[in-house]
Amino acid sequence: MSPNPEKPLTKFETGEVLLLDKPYLWTSFNLVHKIRNQIQKSYNLKKLKVGHAGTLDPLATGLVIICTGKKTKEIDIYQAKEKEYVAEFYLGAVTPSFDLETEPEQFKTIDSVTDSDIYRVAQSFVGKQMQVPPVFSAKRVDGQRAYEAARKGKMLEMKANEVEIFEVEILSIKKPVVEVRISCSKGTYIRSMAQDFGQKLECGAYLKNLRRTKIGNFFVENAITIDKLEEIV
């Protein structure tokens, strides 16, 4: 009797590119871990390569590209693509993390900030520029994640990186909140942009809300929730 043929690879081992709508408070690692466990359990796999093509902060929602199996070799291609976000900047205060992970402080009046000021400052971001990442970020400094040190009260020195903002569109102004659509390059921190936005307006600002809506030609409208993925798997 001839031996059994080798078990064929599942479609997830061959490689799949999944578009996920990341829930609020989930980390990108949480998403990868959940998907890997779900697929391994459903297909009785001992191991499976799974990775994400670009971190999205826990307080943000929206599009995350997940690659499985042999498609993980293409992660760098997806990471390099242009990103689009819809963000809410809160004017008149700052936070150490540049978002709501930490408490707002240094409150200032925004009575003198006009709509024309906001439009002018928004357009000043278009183009290539040097941007300093937040101390509460996944950026590695001397082999350590910056946010891990920051949460212990140690603020690491963050070096500026070159990024490019392709487009900034003001969607609405309902002071103190400004809703903005941003198209940008890999490595751009919208939290840092919020902080810089407030500095240019001389009133302070932090990121109140963030949703990633697009990566290259992939749209969040075509993404599925983690619950829907469980149904499909």
Give me the active site residues, please.
Answer: 57
Q: Which one-letter amino acid corresponds to residue 222?
A: N
The Cβ of residue 176 has, within 10 Å, a number of other Cβ atoms equal to 16
CA–centroid distance for 16 within its chain: 21
Q: Which one-letter amino acid corresponds to residue 37?
A: N
Are 39 and 233 in contact by the 8 Å Cβ rule? The answer is: yes
C-alpha closest to that of 110 among 193, 179, 175: 175
Q: Which two tokens stand for residue 57?
A: 């902060």
Are 3 and 39 in contact by the 8 Å Cβ rule? The answer is: no
Task: Tell me which H or E stretch contains 68.
Answer: strand 61-68
> How many residues are recorded in the chain?
233
Pairing mode of beta strands 144-145, 140-141? antiparallel
